[in-house]
Structure 1
Amino acid sequence: MASNSSLLHCCVLVLACLLSSHSSQALGGNNTDKAWHIVEVKSLLPSSVCSSAKEKGFNRLTIIHRHGPCTPQPTNKKITDAQILRKDQDRVDSMHYYVKSAKKATIGESLSVSLPAQHGSSYGTGNYVAKIGMGTPRKDFSVVFDTGSDLSWIQCKPCKACYNPTDPPFDPTLSSTYSNVSCSSKDCTRLEKSFCSNRQCQYEVRYLDNSTTNGLLARDTLTLSPTDRLLKFMFGCGTNNSGFSDSDMTDGLIGLGRDRVSLISQASSKYGAMFSYCLPSNSSFTGYLSIGTNSVPKASFTSMVQKTDSPSFYYINLIALKVGGKLLNISSTVFSAGTVIDSGTVITRLPPTAYVKLRDAFQQYMEVYPRAPNLDILDTCYDLTKYPEMYVPAIAFVFSDGTTHDVDFSGILYVPQESQACLAFAGNSDDSDIGIIGNMQQKTVNVIYDIVNHKIGFSYGGCK
């Protein structure tokens, strides 16, 4: 058995050399680009032990994978990988629906303000959560952080309908700094179809996976770190929350979109309109979310694109893909629908024309490894049980200004088990749908959102 494994490993090495040579001749490009990752397969597998980094820096929050061992209160209701991918597709479908609906609507101020507060992406796929404090005295809550949403909310007492979260619902009567937003406030009237109860503004977010949250629009003190607070932070105090699952294991959501009700917009006068995060390589490690202009390592920036029909999303101008260090033969017009970078989508979605090119090139590099059954939306899977170490072709995104984002090896394959390691990309149903760079392909990278200067940066070196 050992000799067979060694022979297979030698075959992989020979194939790697042949493919690298063939790619150089057939596709051209920059030969200094990295072609391969040498990966220990066990490093891609989920772990049962949490390796937590020390918190450092003001207004910097530790983030964890909600289904990993670092979750403070694990649930017995485990979610399967197929369920995660189904929820991920729900989110993608809802984002596509929102963009297409917005394009059909009359574009105006009311649309740009109200739609994000009325309709949300699928809630169940934001895989990373942070701990925040709300109220005076502070009470801690675990919340999804989501660049595809704007209005933040948490579960509140008295609960008419609540799912079982990790923490008891927020009790506004116990906070000395809590206040409701009145119906006459501009903050209330900016929400389309806002309604009132006892002269207090009611909010509602209706997600397209049939989950909803509604309650009072309120203000209170938001604590980001032991020494850093944001006064009069506006959020939804949700007393009626339906369609959520106990396996979500979160108390609500922090919206990091571009609308004026998002955390970033509300905090801009204090911290500047900038934030960054780093997602860990594995669910057993922690990352961080930083609000403001904290110093970050040297970064490569690409321009942020403004779309009037979906102004809250973060668009960047993707024009090409690389596999094995070589450009794929894809016309830049294939990406003309636009590409969003999103913290809440798991698997990157590409125009089907581009995805087929990427998948075919990837399969050519990986042909030595035995295939495994598909995993839901993932159609390129491999059985790596006989391979303690493997060679994975490098994958990179290329943007219109020449910036390249190299995907970390931990973000190329989705690996629930050694017998099923799948290419972590999928195709949209049509080239007219927006592309989405998911959180798998952002792992270990400091992703910097500089909203004032309209650019997004990528800084490498891990979540330090």
Structure 2
Amino acid sequence: MASRQVRRRSRPRGCCSLAALLALAALASSPGRLGAAGAGEGGSGVKWHVVSVSSLLPSEVCTATEAAAPINPSALSVVHRHGPCSPRRSRGDPPPSYAEILGRDRERVASIHRKAGRAAASKGSNATLRARWGKPLGTSNYFISVGLGTPARDLRVEFDTGSDQSWVQCKPCGDCYEQHDPLFDPEGSSTYAVVSCGARECREFGSRNCSSSSDGQCRYEVSYGDQSRTVGDLARDTLALTPTAAVPGFMFGCGHRDAGVFGEVDGLVGLGRGKASLASQAAARYGAGFSYCLPSSPSTVGYLTFGGAAASASANAQFTALVAGQHDDASFYYLNLTGVKVAGRAVRVPPAAFATAAGMIIDSGTAFSRLPPRAYAALRSSFRRAMGRRYRRAPAPAPFDTCYDLAGHEAVRVPSVALLFGDGATVDLDPSGVLYAWDSVSQACLAFAPNPDAASLGVLGNVQQRTLAVVYDVGNQKIGFGAKGCA
């Protein structure tokens, strides 16, 4: 696998001056104006976080965290597409504006809502058996490096828990977007094989109508909510996760006509619940489960690992059961969120306010969590009360409505936020999953947003998953959240 030279962290991020240290100590020792710090109800008992303001902004240097992935031969490094470890940044491309980030996130959420709406309208009907492999979701925020073929070609691909399909751009490609690496060449791999029109996999995951295929090869097509698309041949080849872990005969799409804003990555791997996903295909070899940790900042590195060891990766994980989706969707992972705590106290809203007509999913590709309007309003009110008047309010870009101007402060005292699930699991969020800033501390926002209505699908986004070891124990139908999975 290709490796990236990164700078290792030798001190906590943001602790860069004596003044900052003194400010942190003062806030930690003077709880008076904002309420008592220390032990609280549930979870770790933390009510407040004292955070260096400079740590809210990502570094311009790709930094390796000291927290390592679980000991597992299938462990891969996870990198944010907009951070300095991204291939597009290594080529000198500027980071996207906050308007672009929010726009892409809104597009993804809208496509998820449309998908849920279509599934609801077609529930119980066989007429919706798809002629396209995969479903439109939009693209993800994180990528991994894998090897494909024999000999293995290093490729950088996004990973997405909301999709089943996997694909890469392949030669020949007369209509492709610009990517970082050379296109994958099927003729250069001794283990590459196309899926034929008559194969079972073609009937299940490819085109149901091969009449347009003059060579007998199975075609696939995937379109996304942001108008990105990929079209090509359904194929199999060896997928190398690491130098010592591989998935022989991995089924994927070999794209020959592709377009979209994929950030110069070479393709995408799906980690959804369907049979075509990498998670499902790797299960026979490594066990039914995987886990990942998304770091606290786009400038640091997390991990993704597969198998039974991944399912027990975090000894301190709080587990909650996967629940049935409202619309018979096989891709999404549904959870039962029933409440939120702010500064150790449950928000004043009945658990029913967190239920939506479409349910709630966990998604690696949506950045900011979406809650039903009533539940979000209760969270917002509790958070504003806890923040008090110590910090100036700032203009809020949609969909946010609670932002603060932290310019001039060395440190900020942030109320803790914990998620409560129906079977008793309490998951404390890292401060980086509570308060979010783009390129200036003059606009740091509560990192949640409301859904347009109570019927829309709720989403637990990747910002709220930061630093948690998120354990998908697929075999036992549960998901765990372990604190301090990575920095």
Flag whether TM exceeds 0.5 (same fold).
Answer: yes
Answer yes or no: is 1:241 the counterpart of 2:258: yes
Query: Matches of 1:217 and 1:407 in 2, distance apart?
Result: 40
Query: Matches of 2:465 and 2:318 in 1, distance apart?
Result: 14
Answer yes or no: is 1:289 the counterpart of 2:304: yes
2:157–2:269: 8 Å Cα contact kept in structure 1? Answer: yes
Name the counterpart of 2:340.
321
Look up the equivalent residue of 1:378 and give its one-letter code.
Answer: F
Secondary structure of 1:119's partner? Answer: coil
Deviations 1:415-446, CA, capped at 9 Å, x for gaps: 11111111110000001111111110011110
| Percent of residue pairs identical | 45
Answer yes or no: is 1:261 the counterpart of 2:281: no
Query: Matches of 1:208 and 1:32 in 2, distance apart?
Result: 38
Spell out the pairing of 1:282-431 with structure 2 (5 A cutoff).
282-294=297-309, 295-298=312-315, 299-307=317-325, 308-337=327-356, 338-366=359-387, 367-416=389-438, 417-431=440-454
Query: Matches of 2:44 and 2:232 in 1, distance apart?
Result: 55
Look up the equivalent residue of 2:445 and give its one-letter code.
Answer: C
Instruction: Give 1:227 deviation, angstroms.
Output: 1.1
Name the counterpart of 1:39.
51
Change (3 A) 1:32 1:250: closer
Answer yes or no: is 1:165 the counterpart of 2:182: no
Query: Matches of 2:425 and 2:55 in 1, distance apart?
Result: 29
Deviations 1:92-111, CA, capped at 9 Å, x for gaps: 11111111110110336886
1:12–1:368: 8 Å Cα contact kept in structure 2? Answer: no
Instruction: Give 1:10 deviation, angstroms.
Output: 11
Name the counterpart of 2:194.
180
Query: Matches of 1:21 and 1:390 in 2, distance apart?
Result: 15
Instruction: Give 1:19 deviation, angstroms.
Output: 4.4
2:334–2:360: 8 Å Cα contact kept in structure 1? Answer: yes
Instruction: Give 1:371 deviation, angstroms.
Output: 1.3
Query: Matches of 2:434 and 2:102 in 1, distance apart?
Result: 15
Answer yes or no: is 1:100 the counterpart of 2:117: yes
Look up the equivalent residue of 2:415 and give its one-letter code.
Answer: P
Query: Matches of 1:31 and 1:458 in 2, distance apart?
Result: 11
2:206–2:234: 8 Å Cα contact kept in structure 1? Answer: no
Instruction: Give 1:346 deviation, angstroms.
Output: 0.4
Instruction: Give 1:267 deviation, angstroms.
Output: 1.2
Answer yes or no: is 1:122 the counterpart of 2:145: no
Spell out the pairing of 1:133-148 with structure 2 (5 A cutoff).
133-148=147-162
Look up the equivalent residue of 1:430 and give its one-letter code.
Answer: D
Instruction: Give 1:12 deviation, angstroms.
Output: 7.3
Secondary structure of 2:115's partner? Answer: helix
Deviations 1:68-101, CA, capped at 9 Å, x for gaps: 1112433425311210111011101111111111
Change (3 A) 1:13 1:49: closer
Look up the equivalent residue of 1:121 and give its one-letter code.
Answer: L
**Stretch moving more, 35-44 or 329-338:** 329-338
Instruction: Give 1:30 deviation, angstroms.
Output: 5.9
Query: Matches of 2:132 and 2:378 in 1, distance apart?
Result: 34
Instruction: Give 1:311 deviation, angstroms.
Output: 2.3
Query: Matches of 1:9 and 1:64 in 2, distance apart?
Result: 29
TM-score for both structures, normalised by structure 1: 0.91
Instruction: Give 1:462 deviation, angstroms.
Output: 3.0
Deviations 1:116-137, CA, capped at 9 Å, x for gaps: 83422112xx211100110011
Answer yes or no: is 1:455 the counterpart of 2:478: yes
Instruction: Give 1:33 deviation, angstroms.
Output: 2.9
Change (3 A) 1:407 1:32: closer
- After superposition, the CA RMSD in angstroms is 2.6
1:16–1:365: 8 Å Cα contact kept in structure 2? Answer: no
Instruction: Give 1:160 deviation, angstroms.
Output: 2.5
Change (3 A) 1:110 1:152: farther
Selected match of 1:82 from 99, 113, 119:
99
Answer yes or no: is 1:432 the counterpart of 2:455: yes
Selected match of 1:280 from 292, 295, 299:
295
Change (3 A) 1:30 1:216: closer
Deviations 1:436-461, CA, capped at 9 Å, x for gaps: 11110011110000111000001112
Query: Matches of 1:236 and 1:276 in 2, distance apart?
Result: 24
**Stretch moving more, 48-57 or 431-440:** 48-57
Secondary structure of 1:452's partner? Answer: helix
Query: Matches of 2:386 and 2:436 in 1, distance apart?
Result: 17
Look up the equivalent residue of 1:425 and give its one-letter code.
Answer: F
Query: Matches of 1:238 and 1:88 in 2, distance apart?
Result: 25
Query: Matches of 2:393 and 2:319 in 1, distance apart?
Result: 37
Instruction: Give 1:115 deviation, angstroms.
Output: 8.3
Change (3 A) 1:360 1:11: farther
Query: Matches of 1:115 and 1:279 in 2, distance apart?
Result: 34
Change (3 A) 1:95 1:211: same
Instruction: Give 1:224 deviation, angstroms.
Output: 0.2
Look up the equivalent residue of 1:43 and give its one-letter code.
Answer: S
Deviations 1:286-320, CA, capped at 9 Å, x for gaps: 00000112251312110001225222101111011
Change (3 A) 1:21 1:279: closer
1:448–1:458: 8 Å Cα contact kept in structure 2? Answer: yes
Change (3 A) 1:159 1:116: closer
Instruction: Give 1:401 deviation, angstroms.
Output: 0.7
Look up the equivalent residue of 1:176 and give its one-letter code.
Answer: S
Query: Matches of 2:206 and 2:147 in 1, distance apart?
Result: 29
What number of residue pairs does the alignment pair up? 450
2:132–2:207: 8 Å Cα contact kept in structure 1? Answer: no
Deviations 1:335-364, CA, capped at 9 Å, x for gaps: 222211111110011101111111111111
Answer yes or no: is 1:203 the counterpart of 2:226: no
1:203–1:216: 8 Å Cα contact kept in structure 2? Answer: yes
Query: Matches of 1:157 and 1:201 in 2, distance apart?
Result: 17
Change (3 A) 1:292 1:29: closer
Change (3 A) 1:32 1:61: closer
Structure 1: unaligned runs, 5 residues or longer? none
Change (3 A) 1:43 1:274: same
